[in-house]
Amino acid sequence: MDERITAARAVDAEKVRRRPPPDPPQWWIEYGIGIRHTPERAHTGDCPMTSRGRPATAQSVREILLTTPGVLACPLCRPDSELGLLDT
């Protein structure tokens, strides 16, 4: 019986190891550090320029870029262009 339990646990552990990582979020909002903790930049989800922030929806990124003063679109991944906010 112990052998069967050990074998079953090994199979479960192998399944966990083989599980692919989750897909990155489609959009990302980078927040500042400190007391204010306000949005600073918007990114596409696969942008390598930030590791601090929160996943976001396309609508929330669009809204932040259009209405929040001081929030920039990342110059590398260009979420403003991807969302159609700029004439290309």
Asked whether residue 4 is assigned to any structural domain, the reply reads: no
In a domain, 54, yes or no: yes
pLDDT at residue 88, rounded to an integer: 43
Residue 6 falls inside a structural domain: no
Domain coverage including residue 33: 24-88
Phi-psi region at 15: left, alpha or beta (left = phi > 0; alpha = psi -120 to 50): alpha
Q: Does any domain span residue 17?
A: no
* Residue 1 reports pLDDT greater than 50: yes
- pLDDT tens-place string over residues 28-80: 999 988 777 889 999 998 898 877 889 999 999 999 999 999 999 999 999 99
Name which residue leads in pLDDT, 82 or 11: 82
pLDDT single digits (tens) 5-14:
888 888 777 7
Give a yes or no: residue 86 inside a domain.
yes
Q: Indicate the DSSP class of residue 38.
A: -
How much is the pTM? 0.70
Number of domains making up the chain: 1
Q: Does 9 fall in a domain?
A: no
CB 64, CB 83: distance < 8 Å: no
Rounded Cα distance, 29 and 8, in Å: 42
